[in-house]
C-alpha cells in the first residue's frame, strides 16, 4: 500500500482560523486576514474543534492517492459519502494480469496461500479467455475477486477526515483500511498538526462506541492517539 498526499488547501489551519474568526469577531476582512501568533492560533483552532464548531474546518481540503489496496478496501472507503473519489475502472483497464492483495491471515499459512495464489491465477486465465472471446471488459470483470488491486484518488475536507479517522482508526476496523487511515493521519498531521491533534478512534475522547463489541484496548488507544502538547487550562 502507498498513500500520497497530492494536494491540500494552502495554509489550511490559517484558512480555518480565519473562517472561525468571522463567527466570533466584529472586524472586517482586513483585520481577520492578519497573520496571527502561531501558538495562539493553534489554541484558538483547538478550542473551536473541542467546542464542536466543526463547520469551520470544512474550509480545508486534502487530496490523497491511495495505491495497492483491494477492492474490498475501496468498497469500505467510498461509504464515506462526504468525499470525492476517482478510481481505476475495471470497465476500461484490462485486468488479465491483475495484481491482488493477500491478507496477512492467509499469507501466514503456507498451504492456504498456495491455494489462494492458484485461485487467483485461474481467475486471470478465465478473465483473459472471456476477453479473448469478445466479452466486453465491463462484463468480464464480473469474475474478478474482491482481492483485485485498485488505486483511488480521494478528496475530503477536514471535518470528514476527523470522522473518517474516528471510524477507521478503531481496532475493529478492517486491517487494510485502518492501515490507510494511519498513513493519511501521519501525512495530514505534518501539514495541520493542530487541526488533527485530537484525531483518533472514537474511544480516545470518551467511552468506546462499539459497546459489547469493544476490542478492550481503549486505554492503549488513548495513549497512542491523545496528544497533550499543551494544557487544557491554556484554552
91 pLDDT above the threshold of 60? yes
Beta carbons within 8 Å of 52's beta carbon, 6+ residues apart: none
Neighbours of 18 (CB within 10 A): 19
Task: Work out the pLDDT band at 113, boundaries 50, 70, 90.
Answer: very high
Catalytic residue among 71, 159, 168, 178: 168
Task: Work out the pLDDT band at 228, boundaries 50, 70, 90.
Answer: very low
- CA 191, 58, 232 angle in degrees (round to 5)? 65
36 pLDDT above the threshold of 80? no
Within this chain, do residues 29 and 77 fall inside the same structural domain, yes or no? yes
Within this chain, do residues 23 and 68 fall inside the same structural domain, yes or no? yes
Task: Work out the pLDDT band at 45, boundaries 50, 70, 90.
Answer: confident
- For the whole model, what pTM was predicted? 0.88
210 pLDDT above the threshold of 90? no
15 pLDDT above the threshold of 80? yes
Residue 183 maps to a domain: yes
Provide the domain limits for residue 15.
2-85+150-200
The pLDDT value recorded for residue 39 is: 67
27 pLDDT above the threshold of 80? no
Within this chain, do residues 142 and 155 fall inside the same structural domain, yes or no? no
91 is a catalytic site residue:
no
Amino acid at each position: 500500500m502507498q498513500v500520497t498526499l497530492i494536494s491540500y488547501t494552502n495554509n489550511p489551519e490559517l484558512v480555518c482560523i480565519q473562517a472561525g474568526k468571522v463567527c466570533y469577531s466584529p472586524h472586517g476582512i482586513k483585520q481577520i486576514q492578519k497573520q496571527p501568533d502561531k501558538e495562539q492560533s493553534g489554541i484558538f483552532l483547538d478550542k473551536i474543534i473541542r467546542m464542536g464548531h466543526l463547520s469551520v474546518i470544512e474550509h480545508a481540503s486534502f487530496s490523497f492517492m491511495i495505491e495497492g489496496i483491494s477492492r474490498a478496501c475501496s468498497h469500505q472507503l467510498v461509504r464515506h459519502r462526504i468525499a470525492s473519489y476517482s478510481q481505476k475502472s475495471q470497465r476500461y483497464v484490462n485486468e488479465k494480469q491483475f495484481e491482488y492483495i493477500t491478507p496477512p491471515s492467509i499469507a501466514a499459512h503456507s498451504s492456504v496461500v498456495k491455494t489462494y495464489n492458484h485461485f487467483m491465477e485461474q481467475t486471470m486465465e478465465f478473465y483473459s479467455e472471456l476477453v479473448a472471446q469478445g466479452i466486453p471488459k465491463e462484463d468480464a470483470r464480473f469474475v474478478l475477486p474482491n482481492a483485485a488491486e485498485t488505486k483511488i484518488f480521494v478528496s475530503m475536507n477536514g471535518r470528514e477526515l476527523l470522522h473518517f479517522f474516528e471510524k477507521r482508526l478503531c481496532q475493529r476496523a478492517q486491517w487494510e483500511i485502518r492501515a490507510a487511515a494511519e498513513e493519511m493521519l501521519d501525512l495530514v498531521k505534518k501539514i495541520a498538526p493542530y487541526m488533527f491533534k485530537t484525531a483518533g478512534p472514537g474511544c480516545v475522547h470518551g467511552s468506546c462506541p462499539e459497546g459489547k463489541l469493544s476490542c478492550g484496548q481503549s486505554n492503549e488507544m488513548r495513549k497512542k492517539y491523545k496528544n497533550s502538547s499543551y494544557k487544557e487550562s491554556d484554552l
